[in-house]
Structure 1
């Protein structure tokens, strides 16, 4: 499936980086193609869609811009054109660090 192919493409591109790739079965966005989550503590997290293995290089460019951003926001003008429709939603950084009792 395309999601598995994207995962494999990302694994080959992140081998010598500090990007961590996890495979998940479902992000509940079936009508949005392959999906991914990008998140770092202290930054906005993003649900991305309309992805595929052919966009792996552009996704790596986006990840570098995301990592360099103070807040995790990457302006559309700083994203590769192939990723113009990828943002499906965002979530606050606090969700990555809060623990329930």
Structure 2
């Protein structure tokens, strides 16, 4: 696993939809798709409740000790390959900062926040 990299996925996100009773919400669908596609990945996909990015759902957070943390939004299960590619590049970077051109487009255009490591 790449330097203990964790990909948090908001499982409560409705992505602006009003699901029917018993219908799986978009955030849970994204978490399930990421977990299934990441069987041999170098990041840990960790489903979590609300990331408080509700107006930007579905959202994820990418973090690891000693590195910058990123929050991305406006994602769906169609973005799974790009999310995992971006997470892998993050996991392999020395400090969590992936060069701009090496980031998937969704990571360049759909970033909500960047948070410095506590150790800075």
TM-score (norm 1): 0.83
Which residue is 2:27 aligned to? 3
How many residues in Structure 1 have an aligned counterpart in Structure 2? 95
Q: Is the 8 A contact 2:70 2:115 kept in 1?
A: yes
Aligned structure 1 segments of 4 or more residues deviating by more than 4 angstroms: none
Kindly indicate which of the two structures has a greater share of residues assigned to helix: 1
5+ residue gaps, structure 1 = 96-101
Which residue is 1:70 aligned to? 94
5+ residue gaps, structure 2 = 1-24
Q: Which of 52, 60, 69 is the aligned partner of 1:36?
A: 60
TM-score (norm 2): 0.71
* Inter-partner Cα distance in structure 2 for 1:76 and 1:51: 19
